[in-house]
Every structure is written in structure tokens, then in C-alpha cells.
Amino acid sequence: KLDEPMAHFLLRQLDGRNDRADLVRLLDREVSAGHLEVSVDGRIPDPARILPVLQAVLEHHLKKMADYALLVE
């Protein structure tokens, strides 16, 4: 199930107005503001290197949402 705050945030942004780059920027803004947390192996990534991490997180959640038939082409 999609019970993670990151997934909830992303689901609200999937209204057809945001592409993947927009979604990564929105995630970066939320993480930088402290509204969302992201970690890799239990550690918070260096802010200078967080974009690739957020891209991977985005792809992970988009796949999960597609698997649950929340997204269609």
C-alpha cells in the first residue's frame, strides 16, 4: 500500500501539469524545507548530491503507483 508521506505527496502532484523534472524539483523543495525526509541506507544524502536520489525515489514511487493501477498511459 502507499502509506509513505513521499507517495502521498507525489500522488497529489500527478494532475497532468508536472513532468518528471518538475516532480523532482517539487520533491527537492519539500525535502529542503523539512516537510519530507529521504534517506539512503539510513543516512541523509548530501544536499549537493540529492537530485539523483530524488530521481530514483520518484521512479520507485511511480512504478508502485502503476503497479497498483493508480497510473495509466
In the prediction, which pLDDT does 40 show? 87
Is the CB of residue 58 less than 8 Å from the CB of residue 27?
A: yes
CA 57 to chain centre: 5
Residues in the chain: 73
In the prediction, which pLDDT does 72 show? 64
pTM summary value: 0.87
In the prediction, which pLDDT does 59 show? 96
Give the chain's residues under pLDDT 50. none
In the prediction, which pLDDT does 47 show? 86
CA 19 to chain centre: 12
